[in-house]
Amino acid sequence: MSLFEKHQPTLTKAIEVLHARTFYAAFPEHPAPAVYGETADADGQAKFKNTLGKEFGELMQAGESGWAGQEESPYLQEPLNVRYPIFSTDDLITKSKSAFHVWRKVSKEERAGILLESLDRLKRRFFEIAYATMHTTGQGYMMAFQASGPHAADRALEAIAAGYEELSRFPKAALWDKPMGKFNLQINKEWRAVPKGISLVIGCSTFPTWNSVTGIYGSLMTGNTVLVKPHPGAILPIAIFVAEIQNVLAENNFDPHICQLAVDTFEKMISKELAEHSEVKLIDFTGNSLFGSYLEALPGKTVFTEKTGVNSVILDSADDLDKVAANLAFSVNLYSGQMCTAPQNFFIPETGIKTSSGAATFDQFAEKFVANLNSLIDNPKAGPFVLGAVQNKKTCDRVVEAEKLPGKVWLKSRSFENPMFKKARVATPVVVEVDASKKEIFSKELFGPIALLIKTKNTDQSIALAQEMAIQHGAISCGAYTTDPEVKDKIADAMSLAATPVSFNLTGGIYMNQNAAFSDFHVTGGNPSGNASFTNPEYVTRRFTWVGHREPVKA
């Protein structure tokens, strides 16, 4: 049985739900022993610990110029001391170019089989990846397991399915038969999906696998070779992915340099060097808008970006304001606000938020919101694990600076003790009231646990400001609470024009931060927060070109 035949049922199901947009998870998100094995967690933790202080020797890449690694655990505030092979740009490009001319001619079925097999292998390493993610990003254990393991694998599967679907859209060949009166003009036509070449995937420090695998698997599925350039502070999680891809490639007699890890250091970063190289045709990037805009402006490149955005919450009316406050507080606390989808600007009318028992004032909502933030932070069984740790010290500095913003400080940031990691770098949310006229304050992303409560004249102004922020500065998510169908439609219409998806009236176990593979498009590509979307057809079709050849039929 070929790898394609082995995994075809999974691929068929994935393509089906791509169209249906219903729930599907090929990889269970709960780290239950019944699913992954009784010793899977302990084994993964042991393997992670055994990696520390050593050379990462799993890669099938030779000819390194040295070894380096600068990852630091936000929980221990100590270096991991994992060292990775360093390669010159010329070496990476030369080997990728050579591998490309083999990989581009491999059938879509064989490519899909190899990539699906790599995900199947990675399933056995989800716990190891989870600990690697915890100690590079600061994510809590559950988020680290889900986001870097099952959810990332589902996103990778989604990219494979989308790529396979688009590669199957048109026939390989056809007889073109045109009646011409006394005779027919017959031409044999064929079409080839030609990949663009070398693909560069530049990773981020907070979600090293989830934000990278769609680009990696999307490019590989469409026949491109890939250079994975991780953030120097978060290498290990994606290094494991690359190692498993290389393993499956080699086992099936393909050059493992089809997918290479391109590690650099903070002192000598190679992102620009790689991005500007004439042989690099595709670039995937997650990170700040300044570098993302630079990449988008590079001539001759096809670029997919996810950049910074200013995410809003519009509060108009609600059935149960306590549940609203609890939901939003969890969203802000989750991973200490270090998510591109986390809410920042909360637009609240000065007349208050309408409820069944009358209008709740601005101050009443602020008090409920702060109380829910504190309640979760102070819950020793939940708080430390929901907030996790802060990946970058600059985020802590940003939180301290936010307390100096002009406006009432409803909640100051404070430290808390993580029962498992006494030295963890932590910061609880800061909440500041800002007047709606102070656009210079809330019109930029304040990455981290920072919430701005913005007092508006009415809901119409709230909608207008949220739309303006998204159009001018970008937004990846938006939350809205209203019991009025007309207001709901007005919000949906306004934010649609700003290319921003809205989560309405969330009060249960789902939050505006979260996106589901196969159903939610992550980023729309329609505002300054990014020019691409996980995973719409354009996300894969731009990675290859349809080329047709034709020849008259011989008499």
What are the backbone dihedrals phi and psi of residue 267, each rounded to the nearest 5 degrees, phi first?
-80, -30
Residues of the chain within CATH 3.40.309.10 domain(s) are 312-504
3-state per-residue secondary structure call for 24-83: CCCCCCCCCHHHHCCCHHHHHHHHHHHHCCCECCCCCCCCCCEEECCCEECCCCEECCCE
Cα separation, 469 vs 448, whole angstroms = 18
Which residues in the chain are classed under CATH 3.40.605.10?
Answer: 3-20+30-171+196-307+532-544
Q: What is the pLDDT of residue 447?
A: 93
Element (H, E) at 311: none
What integer pLDDT is reported at residue 320 of this predicted model? 94
Contact 212, 286 (CB under 8 A): yes
Which band of pLDDT confidence, cut at 50, 70 and 90, is reported for residue 415? confident
Mean pLDDT over 388-395 rounds to 94
pLDDT of residue 300 exceeding 80, the answer is: yes
| 553 contacts: CB under 8 Å, gap ≥ 6 | 175, 186, 187, 188
- Report whether pLDDT(555) > 80: no
Q: Which pLDDT value is given to residue 84?
A: 98
What type of residue is 531?
N
3-class state of residue 399 by DSSP: helix
| Strand 353-355 with 345-349, pairing | unpaired
> Is residue 466 within 8 Å of residue 458, measured between CB atoms?
no
Check whether 416 has a pLDDT greater than 90.
Answer: no
420: pLDDT confidence band, cut at 50, 70 and 90? Answer: very high
Q: Give the per-residue pLDDT at 417.
A: 86
Q: Give per-residue pLDDT as tens, 83-94.
A: 999 999 999 999
Fold of the CATH domain 312-504: Aldehyde Dehydrogenase; Chain A, domain 2 (3.40.309)
Contact 315, 327 (CB under 8 A): no
Q: Is 119 exposed, middle or buried (0-12, 13-18, 19+ CB in 10 A)?
A: buried
Helices and strands of the chain, counted as H and E runs: 20, 21
Cα–Cα distance, 216 to 161 (Å, whole number): 13
For the stretch 168-211, pLDDT in tens is 999 999 999 999 999 999 999 999 999 999 999 999 999 999 99
- Are 104 and 195 a contacting pair, CB within 8 Å? yes
Residue with tokens 């680290």: 144
The model's pLDDT over 226-248, given as tens digits with 9 standing for 90+, comes to: 999 999 999 999 999 999 999 99
- Asked whether the beta carbons of 241 and 213 are under 8 A apart, the reply is yes
**Ranges 67-81, 405-419, 532-546: which has the least confidence:** 405-419
How far apart CA 467 and CA 496 sit, in angstroms, is 9
Q: Percent of the chain at pLDDT above 70?
A: 100
- Average pLDDT of the chain is 96
Locus of tokens 């609470």 = 481
- Residue-wise pLDDT for 122-165, tens only, equals 999 999 999 999 999 999 999 999 999 999 999 999 999 999 99
pLDDT tens-digit readout, 458-474: 999 999 999 999 999 99
What's the rounded Cα separation, in Å, for the pair 287 and 208?
11
Cβ-proximal residues to 431 (8 Å cutoff; 6+ apart), any chain: 366, 369, 370, 373, 409, 410, 411, 451, 452, 453
pLDDT band, residue 519 (cuts 50/70/90): very high
**DSSP three-state, residue 125:** helix
Residues 407-417 have a mean pLDDT of: 92
| CATH topology (fold) of 3-20+30-171+196-307+532-544 | Aldehyde Dehydrogenase; Chain A, domain 1 (3.40.605)
Which pLDDT does position 534 carry in this prediction?
Answer: 94
Residue 443 three-state SS? coil
pLDDT for position 10: 98
The mean per-residue pLDDT over the stretch 291-303 comes to 97
Question: Is the confidence at residue 358, as pLDDT, over 90?
Answer: no
- Which has more pLDDT, 358 or 475? 475
pLDDT of residue 21: 97
Mean pLDDT of 399-421: 93
Please name every residue paired with 303 in a beta bridge, in sequence order, or none if there are none: 283
